[in-house]
Structure 1
Amino acid sequence: MEKPFTRKEFLQTSALGITAVVFGSSFTRLLASEEKPYFDLKPIGRQFSLEGYYIWCSSPIWGEDGKVHLFYSRWKKEKGMGGWLNGSEICRAEADSPWHKFEHKQVILAPRGGEFWDATTCHNPLIKKVGDEYYLFFMGNSNGKTNTKRIGLATAKSLSGIWTRPEEPLLLPGKEGSWDDHCTTNPAFVEGNDGKYWLFYKSWNTGEYETQKGSVRGNRKYGVAKADSPKGPYIKVPENPVIDFSSLPDNAQLEDAFIWKQKGKFHMVARDMGFFNHAYGLHLTTKNGLYWSKPEIAYLSMGNYVNEPDPPKHLKRFGRLERPMLLPDKNGEKPRFLFGATQGGDFETSTAFVFEILK
């Protein structure tokens, strides 16, 4: 039986016994240098970029036409890296395969302005198909700030639309003072093993966010909500948060989770925010969605796979692969390609980067 990662006692239970784990900088350096990443990756390259835009959140899916359809977010270069929060829109691109360059096709969701819940940004696209319908989970906000980020859901019968846009968010934050009172964002969706549909989401506590200092404020945790239909309504489970690193040193946390099912087990790949460092990916597993394994390294920093020139000074997050998303073979559930967003490229913004997963 899979055991949960016990945060407060800093213990890891495994099939071989119980091993004490001391969390700190020496432990981080040891694992970073000696553990092999979960994914064996071969870089394909920067497969999608647009002049004048930052590209982020690359969610791929195989279409009925045999092509790869990429749902991504973009915002204008003049807004800088922070433009995702106030001016992002969700678009669709196509390529014959992950080895081919993608071509922009259409804008799917743009900020609506006015009093709408997604008035100022549309971001975090996650495309899924259930039955004969496509589900586009995303995040919108209404004031250009983090405290109005809400997960929504648009639906369509084909990847090119027409998309039915939601008048209300799909999942709201918790009550004031709760761990998730700040927002709902970073949707991750999977069909569970209990007959329910599981929607994982990131959030944090507003009080922590407002009182902490430094470049990373608040502690991002993950919860899950369940529904009988992909369209909801979603009910948060009482065990939330199901992933919580807040008892670890250095405000460790994670974000950008993507979840898939493989051989009866659920897997997560996410961006590390201090468990090892801020440039790696994390891999976790679970059997029930509630109790997750201790993270291991999913992938390393970009410099371990590609050699690129030093970026301009405004690209301060250069060298990290963020918003990891997986694409299987056309006929299988095993992940075959890793998509992510990373700063750099010919236009000195950010692009979609694709890896082949060798094993």
Structure 2
Amino acid sequence: MFSDRLLAAPVNGGFAMDGHWVWCGSAIRGDDGRYHLFASVWSQSLPFWPCWVTNSRIVRASADQPQGPYVFEETVLPARDPSFWDGRMTHNPSIHRASDGTYLLFYTGSTYDAPVPTAEDPGQWGDARAALARANQRVGLATAPSINGPWQRRDEAIIQPRPGKWDGLMSTNPAPCVLPDDSILLVYKSTANQTDLLRLGVSKAEHYNADFKRLSDESILNFDQTNDHVEDPYVWYDGNQFQLIMKDMEGGICGEQYGGIHACSPDGIHWRLADLPMAYSRTVKWDNGSTTRQAHFERPQLLIENGRPTYLFAATSDANSETDYLTITRTWTMVIPLA
């Protein structure tokens, strides 16, 4: 059972940034022997919700040890001209590396033709800017020869929505898996419209410079209507099969609402739940002996070293509940060692 591998999380580990909301978190070991974490941040002068979708930026932080604490280094993908597909917002970083040494930063970007929210005019969830930014989310890829950059973004997103299909609204939550032959399996999240359930799709490219093509016209990992609602996938290849963890929005699959699901696949298209499908619980044990029930345990991603997952990174908060965004005063990326 994957959840049995989770050890006590260091209370002072992970990544937090003064004056900023922090979300996501994807780490890799650099050529300098240090660990580099890519995360999403936006100013705490803005409300957490919905300004993540309008104001987020991807940053890089570093640490001597994989558990951190990580220290901010630089903004990696700032806002740019709003005529670009990712001109206003970057989010959901997932960092990987090709065999030629190129760093591959998959992410979600968005843009919108409206003023950027500010502390004086932040907007609410019903704000047209947030709705437009959500609908305009697309998965993209930036590459760099060094962990320090320079980062080259593509002028176009790599996964476009398909109007009239299950993934007609957007593409987001990139979960890439770089294979030994440098081909890339990419799982992504989408939905048909603003109110439909969240589902996952799968695509593949023969190389990071090649186009991504869908492997299935339909969504993958489909459940009954109530539970057909998942997000935040992370995929890796263990040498024999693909493995995946993701967030259970309703709790009917893993047994805990907003807990984690574990699934396996021989080809990335046909998936089955693990015999014991719970990947993680929102109940977290800390290295000071305490246990807490986290309102948020989101965007789970793994540090893979020598082909083996060694640490789990996830976004979390001090909110009272998953949907109570008004009580949030702090968010951060937590790190959980794996046995």
TM-score range, shorter chain: 0.7 to 0.9
- 1:9 maps to what in 2? none
1:348 Cα shift?
A: 2.4
CA contact (8 A) 1:74 1:90 kept: yes
CA distance in structure 2 between the aligned counterparts of 1:124 and 1:293, rounded to whole angstroms: 25
C-alpha deviations, 1:214-241, integer Å up to 9, x for none?
xxxx211111111121233111123531
Distance 1:225 1:272, change over 3 A: same
- 1:344 maps to what in 2? 318
**Partner of 1:86: helix, strand, or coil?**
helix
1:110 Cα shift?
A: 1.3
- From 176, 180, 186, give the equivalent of 2:167: 180
1:49 Cα shift?
A: 0.7
CA distance in structure 2 between the aligned counterparts of 1:221 and 1:307, rounded to whole angstroms: 35
Amino acid at match of 1:204: T
- 2:265 maps to what in 1? 286
CA distance in structure 2 between the aligned counterparts of 1:268 and 1:165, rounded to whole angstroms: 27
1:344 Cα shift?
A: 2.6
Q: In the alignment, does 2:126 pair up with 1:160?
A: no
- 1:146 maps to what in 2? 134
C-alpha deviations, 1:6-29, integer Å up to 9, x for none?
xxxxxxxxxxxxxxxxxxxxxxxx
Amino acid at match of 2:278: I
Amino acid at match of 1:285: C
Amino acid at match of 2:155: E
- 1:227 maps to what in 2? 205
- 1:258 maps to what in 2? 234
CA distance in structure 2 between the aligned counterparts of 1:134 and 1:36, rounded to whole angstroms: 28
CA distance in structure 2 between the aligned counterparts of 1:47 and 1:303, rounded to whole angstroms: 14
CA distance in structure 2 between the aligned counterparts of 1:85 and 1:113, rounded to whole angstroms: 17
- From 325, 331, 334, give the equivalent of 2:308: 334
CA contact (8 A) 1:239 1:290 kept: no
Q: Pairwise mapping of residues 241-320 of structure 1 onto structure 2 (< 5 A)?
A: 241-245=219-223, 247-249=224-226, 251-274=227-250, 275=253, 276-294=255-273, 296-303=277-284, 307=290, 318-320=294-296
CA distance in structure 1 between the aligned counterparts of 2:147 and 2:2, rounded to whole angstroms: 37
- From 88, 102, 105, give the equivalent of 1:136: 105
Distance 1:328 1:198, change over 3 A: closer
Q: In the alignment, does 2:54 pair up with 1:75?
A: no
1:168 Cα shift?
A: 1.3
Q: Which moved more, 1:102-111 or 1:78-87?
A: 78-87
C-alpha deviations, 1:283-311, integer Å up to 9, x for none?
1111111111125100111355574789x
| Length-normalised TM-score, structure 1 | 0.78
1:114 Cα shift?
A: 2.7
Distance 1:308 1:80, change over 3 A: farther
1:179 Cα shift?
A: 0.3
Amino acid at match of 1:243: L
Amino acid at match of 2:111: S
CA distance in structure 1 between the aligned counterparts of 2:267 and 2:160, rounded to whole angstroms: 23
Q: Which moved more, 1:284-293 or 1:98-107?
A: 98-107
1:113 Cα shift?
A: 4.0
CA contact (8 A) 2:199 2:228 kept: no
1:47 Cα shift?
A: 2.1
Of the two, which has the highest radius of gyration? 1
- From 30, 39, 52, give the equivalent of 2:19: 52
1:258 Cα shift?
A: 0.8
Structure 1, unmatched stretches of 5+, are 1-34, 211-217, 311-317
CA contact (8 A) 1:39 1:299 kept: no
| Length-normalised TM-score, structure 2 | 0.83
1:43 Cα shift?
A: 1.2
CA distance in structure 1 between the aligned counterparts of 2:198 and 2:260, rounded to whole angstroms: 15
CA RMSD, Structure 1 to Structure 2 (Å):
2.3
- From 82, 93, 97, give the equivalent of 1:114: 82
**Partner of 2:45: helix, strand, or coil?**
helix
